[in-house]
Each structure stands twice: as C-alpha cells, then as structure tokens.
Amino acid sequence: MIQVTEKAINEIKRILSNDPTVQGAHLRVMVAGGGCSGMSYKLGFEKELPAPTDKVFEKDGIKILVDAKSFLYLSGNVFGIERKFKIDFNYVESKYYELCKVLHPDRFIQSGEAALKVAHERMSFLNLAFQVLKDEDKRRNYLLKLHGICPDLNQKDSLQEVPLELTEAWFELQDLLSENPTQVHEKTIAFLKSLKQTQDETQIKITECEENYDQSLDRALLEEIAKLLKKQNYLNSLEKDFYKKIKAS
C-alpha cells in the first residue's frame, strides 16, 4: 500500500481540472536514479493505460500508477506483509529470492552505469529489509520505531523498570563477595535462580504483549513492550556482571 493524503488528492484534482491537456490522465509516481543522494522522485501525468506490472491505486476517482520497481521503495513494505510481530518467515524468504532473481545488479550490467548504480542501491535496500525481518530482535525494534517508540535505555524513567528485589539481592551478594568470598555459594545459586526466573517471566510477558498486539494493533501494548525490553536489558546486564564477578572471585 501507499498512502495518499487528502491534500495531495486535492492538488492532483486541481491540476487536472485546470489543465485541459491532462484531463482524464493518471498520475505516475516513480523513483529513478539521479538526484543528490542517488535517487530521485519523478511525478507525471499520463493518459496511456497502465502496464500489467504497474501497481494501481485509486483514491477519490484518481488513479495513481507505480511501476513494480519504484513500488519497492515507495511502499516501505517490500515483502507485502502485515506489520506484526509474528510473521510467516518462509513466505518472506521465498519472496526475497523471487525479488533477488528480478532485481540482482548482475541483470543490469548492460543497462548503463546509472541503472547499475540504482540496481546496487535497490539490492542493498532489499538485503537490509531481509536482514531486519530475519532477526527477531531487529524486527521488534523496527516495528517499535515505526510507531515512534524507541526503547531508549538512557531515559531517566528507566529506573522504574528496575526490579527492586533483585537489585537488593544483587547488592547484598556483592557485599558478601567483597567481604567473605568463600561463604556465598548458597546465596549465589539462589540469586542466579531468581534472576533466571525473572528473565523468563519478562520474556513470557513480552511474548504475550506481542501476541495481543498482533490481534488488536493497540499502541499501548507497544509501549508496554518497550518497558519490558528495558527491564530485560537490565536483567541481562546483571547476568553478565554476575558471571564476571563470580569468575573474578
């Protein structure tokens, strides 16, 4: 899907009604090579019928045509999947190979330097998208970012996500370690156990929130997930610290 705003539609209508030469034409939108960052948008009216490979969008009776390759960039959704936590990765993978066959830069060697450059950029864009979708953590972060939620770990309110009981146990354990390293074996095991348990519980909560989000698309759940991620991040750094300290003593 691409989105066309109300304002854009009104402007298109205004041009179409003011200029008799383009009456009844469709709007073509494309991304082409050139421009200062390697790519540029091109807009134009045309009266011919859309090509079979074109994607056609209609809003308020206005047809907007996008060729298949430009659509890759414009949609921001290369694989045509829903923006949810759980995805059908087999589908994404087969789609990826399908797109690779069509878009691989080797196919554009004969097409001139500019086209080859675009092909390279398109391919790295496609690869990046695939890498993000493949990795569960990256995919989660991407989805949160799309909604303007970044699990920013330097935010001040991050303190609220620190589980207090564990912090206390961690403090006491280190206190013991520094004073009497030989007698803390039991405490160590107990701490590790409750740490693992809290990590597992947090992971379960994250998964629950993700499943609920996929059903309801409720933004509040994304915020909850970001909070839980912060907590999990803290727990993981505790775990790392724990093993470092144990090894040292």
Partner 1 sequence: MSYKQKVLDHYENPRNVGSMDKNALNVGTGLVGAPECGDVMKLQVEIDELTGTIKDAKFKTFGCGSAIASSSLVTEWIKGKSLEEAMSIRNTQIVQELSLPPIKIHCSVLAEDAIKLAIRDYLNKKSKNSHLNKEDSKI
Distance CA 170, CA 13 (A): 66
Q: What is the 3-state secondary structure (H, E, C) of 219-237?
A: HHHHHHHHHHHHHHHHHHH
- In contact, 84 and 221? CB cutoff 8 Å: no
Q: What are the E-state strand segments in the chain? A: 26-33, 39-46, 55-59, 62-66
Instruction: Answer yes or no whether residue 240 interacts with partner 1 by CB under 8 A.
Output: yes
| Mutual angle of helices 68-75 and 89-103, in 10-degree steps | 130
How many residues make contact with partner 1 (CB under 8 A)? Answer: 25
Which residue stretch of 72-80, 92-100, 211-219, 238-246 sits at the interface with partner 1 (rule: CB under 8 A)? Answer: 238-246
Which residue stretch of 77-85, 153-161, 180-188, 204-212 sits at the interface with partner 1 (rule: CB under 8 A)? Answer: 153-161
Instruction: Answer yes or no whether residue 230 interacts with partner 1 by CB under 8 A.
Output: yes
What residue has token string 């309801």? Answer: 216
**Min CB(233)–partner 1 separation in Å:** 6
Applying CB under 8 A, which of residues 101, 156, 185, 247 lies at the interface with partner 1? 156
Instruction: Answer yes or no whether residue 162 interacts with partner 1 by CB under 8 A.
Output: yes
Residues that bind partner 1 (CB under 8 A): 153-154, 156, 158-159, 161-162, 164, 166-168, 170-171, 174-175, 178, 230-231, 233-234, 237-238, 240-242
